[in-house]
Structure formats: structure tokens, C-alpha cells
Structure 1
Amino acid sequence: MRRGTQGLLLALLGTVLLQLALSGDHLRYVTGWMRWPLVVCGVLLLAMALGPLLAAHEPEDDEGHDHDGHDHGGHGVPRVTWFLALPVVVAFVVSPPELGSFLAERQGGESAVVSRPDEMTALDAAQVVPVPLDEFIWRAQDGGSSLHGQPVELTGFVSYGDGSDDWFVTRMAIGCCAADARPFRVQVQDSPRPSRDQWVEVEGTHVPGTGATEESPPAVAASAVTPTAAPDGTYE
């Protein structure tokens, strides 16, 4: 591989990182705080690409260069450098979507154990209060007393359970990237199940006694289920 090609690949990779970070598409793969590190990496890769690109315009001598495709001198660049093209193909050709029901249904055999959220929602039994799924699950695991009689709104995508009518409002949680994703799922009762991966807003109340153990997933008795658009950041 010639150095000019190497520089072009570095430039393409840097462009991909910048495009993902500045467009918000990086949220498909990593947490939001990684946006600016990706921007810095993209700029550095573009800067690194300048050397090989400029060197490509300099005349080359025949010393150390074998015309059979094997490099014997200082001008050689390993062919493994072509692997730098893979992120470009994935980002612009494959463009994988956010993690959804396929992974959630295969990891969701037991209820996720969550720690107490850093920020808790102020509840008000007189009105429907939007509550993040991880907080709802924590409150259920804590005994459910704080959810007694409290109308809540849960937002997530639809995943199915083992039963013919079982379904869950679901969010995927990641620590740093999609590789460590795990599902937060709340079973929805008293409502026909929508299509897989459809984003919904579920209004209802906690079903007493559910979610207290890992074997018993938290459940909500739905009073309304409304289809909605997926948020910009789908992971919790």
C-alpha cells in the first residue's frame, strides 16, 4: 500500500469520527460524554493524514521498492492498513441501528438489578409523572411503597416476553459503549402488545408486589399506551 493511500484512509477515518460526533449519530454506539473525545480524535487523524498525503507527491526512487508488490525499504506500508477502511464501511454503508428488542429479549430472562439513581424524580400522586425506567425498577426493588398509587409515564421500545401476550417497555443501558449494554424492562399489563421495537409512552401504576426480586420483573398496569418517536439518545 502506498503512503498516499494510507493518508487517504486516515483522512476518511477522521472524517467518520467527526461526522458521527457532530451529527449525534455517535449515540448509537457510545455514551454522550464521549462526543468531544471523538471530535479530538477525528481532528488528530486528519492531521496525521497530512504527512502521508503530502509525501505522496514527492518523487520516489526505485531503491527499496520491489515491483512484485512486496516492500523491502522505508516506503512500505503494511497491507493491514486496509482495515482502517472497515469503520468507514460500517458507518456509511452498513449503518447499524441502535440496540433493540433482539438483544433485550435474549438478555432479559431476569429483572436487572439497579442501584439507586443519582437523581430521583419528585413524585406527585395527583398527576402522571414521567419516571425513567431504571428509577422505576429501583423503586420496585426497594419494596414499591414510593410507587403506591402514583400514576407514572414510562417511555421505551417494545420487547416481547415468553408468553403469547407478554410485552415490556424497554430501554438499553450502557456504561461506556454498546458492547456492555444491558436491558431495563418493565412488564406492561392490561394492554395489547404493539409491534416489536415500536417506541411507546405507557401511563399506568405499579403492580404491587412485582419487581421485588430478580425472578419477578416489575410490572405496570397500563391505563394508556401511546406510540411515540424514538429519542435522540435511546440509551439510559
Structure 2
Amino acid sequence: MAAVIPRPGSRVRLRPQGVLLLLCGAALLRIALFSELYLRYVKEGLRPYLVISGTVLIALALLGLLTRTDDHDHDHDHDHDEDDGDDGQDGRSRAHDHTRNPRVAWLLTAPALALLLFPPPALGSYSAEREEARVAAQGAGTFPELPAGDPVDLTLGAFASRAEWDTGASLKGRTVRLTGFVTRDDDGTWSVARLLVTCCAADAQALKVEIRGATAPAADTWVTVTGTWHPVGTPGSDTARPVLDAVSVRRTPTPSDPYEKR
């Protein structure tokens, strides 16, 4: 039903469709325009598209949120009454039902309101434990030397690639620093993990580095681990795994952008 400006004597009525659009649009603007929560779900470059989408949804909501019911509607109902003869009462009910929204439709606003007030968290240890990625060069080989100075800040992807594929052992004798969230395995080992995204959270892959020599904090706790590479297996084979002997484990706030980018 097209939205029009109410005229004197017309009745204004809220429509659940408009409310749903308004809540969804507001939720998009909240995470993309007024905060950095959108980084939990998509890459930074998609922010303008989220803002545009939220604006369009709100505009459509404002166009369709308020509708009028005036004398034309009543005349339409009256015509139905005359056509139905003795069944005028039924005709009037049917005509009235055409302009009435089922009350149950308002229940759909509950999840939309929850999305606005409580945005879903970023993916965490649950996802990492179920999908470990092998993000590395195709085949074994040598890697460039690490920058001078210790400790060296590395992404989990860079550390894992060197640990699994670098035949030149560029990590040997170097102190590195990794940041991610804690995951625990059933056998008592624990890892620092992060999720790698290509486009958005839907295509996330888990990066995990096993930590040895330190007590594990609670799962999903963000930490910065400083330590040295612990060689395991032969680079380029299925036996190679990224492992770090921890020197220190320090809790750190959850970053605004929790994902690693390809």
C-alpha cells in the first residue's frame, strides 16, 4: 500500500512491515556508521555499502510506515456490502480484513529489535575448533628474513606459514609476538587463534598456533603471547605444525577488528 500524507479525517496506522525495515536499517547504521562493530562480520572496505543499505531501509520504512485509511476505504467497504446482499455482514468483514495486519506479524519485530540492541559477537573459539585452515604458500620453500629486532610482531597466518612451509627455518632463534584468542583442545593443549576472512565472517577460516610452557587462560580470552618457535615435523609435510614455546602470556583487550585479512 502506497504511503501518503494523512488528510484531515483520515486514520493513521502503524504497519509492522515499516517497523521491521526501520529496525533493520537502524541496526545497520548502528554497527557501520556509529561504531566499528561491522568489523565483526565483514571487511573494512564494505562499510560504505552497509551505510547505504541502512539508509535505504530507513527511507523505505519512513515511506511505508504511516498509511492512511480515509472515506475512500469506507466507500469501498460499502460497495462490498451492497454486492453481497444478505451476506453484507460477511462482506464487510472480508473488506475490513484486507486492510488489517495480523497481530502475530508484530512478533517479527522482536528479533529485529534484538539485532539493534544486541549485535551478535564476533566468531570465536567455537568456530576455530571446527575449521582449521592451512593458509600458506603452495609447496615448501624459503621465506624472506624477518625484520631485525626481537620480539617480532607476526600475524598468526605469517607464523603458521613459516612454521609449516619454510625450509629455511627463518623462525629459528627469533622471539616472536602473537595476538589472538584462546582455544582449548580435549587433550589439554591450548592454542592462540584468530579467524581469517576473505570477504565476510561467512567465509572465515581458523588460524591456530599451539602454545606450550604456559597456563591457558579461559577460552575466548584475548592474549598476546611472546615466545620462540618450537619446530614440529618436516616443513612442507603433513607432520609440520605451528607451535610456540611461550615466554610470557599477557591478556589484551579485544581488538576492534578481530579478524586477520587475506
Instruction: Quickly name the TM-score band, shorter chain normalised.
Output: 0.7 to 0.9
**What is the CA distance between 1:68 and its match in structure 2?**
6.1
Matched, 1:89 2:101: no
Aligned match of 1:42: 54
Matched residue SS, 2:150:
coil
Asked if 2 retains the 8 angstrom alpha-carbon contact of 1:7 and 1:48, the reply is yes
The 1-side partners of 2:256 and 2:193 are apart by 16
**What is the CA distance between 1:58 and its match in structure 2?**
5.3
Deviation string for 1:169-210 (max 9, x for gaps)? 110122222222221000011112111111111111111245
Matched, 1:26 2:26: no
Asked if 1 retains the 8 angstrom alpha-carbon contact of 2:15 and 2:101, the reply is no
Asked if 2 retains the 8 angstrom alpha-carbon contact of 1:121 and 1:131, the reply is no
Structure 2 residue identity aligned to 1:86: P
Structure 2 residue identity aligned to 1:199: W
What is the total number of aligned residue pairs between the two structures?
A: 225
Runs (4+) of structure 1 exceeding 6 A deviation are 76-82
Aligned match of 1:173: 196
Aligned match of 1:52: 64
Matched residue SS, 1:173:
strand
Matched residue SS, 1:107:
coil
Deviation string for 1:135-176 (max 9, x for gaps)? 111112222612121211000011012322x11011012222
Aligned match of 1:10: 21
Give the TM-score normalised by the residue count of structure 1. Answer: 0.80
The 1-side partners of 2:111 and 2:145 are apart by 46
Aligned match of 1:225: 249
The 2-side partners of 1:171 and 1:9 are apart by 34
Matched residue SS, 1:127:
coil
The 1-side partners of 2:130 and 2:193 are apart by 13
Per the alignment, do residues 86 and 211 of structure 1 end up closer, same or farther by CA in structure 2, a change over 3 Å counting? farther
Give the TM-score normalised by the residue count of structure 2. Answer: 0.73
Matched residue SS, 1:196:
coil
Unpaired runs of 5+ residues, structure 2, are 2-12, 78-90, 138-142
Per the alignment, do residues 211 and 50 of structure 1 end up closer, same or farther by CA in structure 2, a change over 3 Å counting? farther
Aligned match of 1:183: 206
Deviation string for 1:90-132 (max 9, x for gaps)? 3424x33221112222334xxx21145xxx9972353111100
The 1-side partners of 2:217 and 2:252 are apart by 12
The 1-side partners of 2:217 and 2:69 are apart by 62
Structure 2 residue identity aligned to 1:89: A
Q: Over alpha carbons, which structure has the higher Rg?
A: 2
Per the alignment, do residues 153 and 234 of structure 1 end up closer, same or farther by CA in structure 2, a change over 3 Å counting? same
Structure 1 residue identity aligned to 2:179: T
**What is the CA distance between 1:12 and its match in structure 2?**
1.7
Matched, 1:207 2:230: yes
CA RMSD of aligned residues (A): 3.1
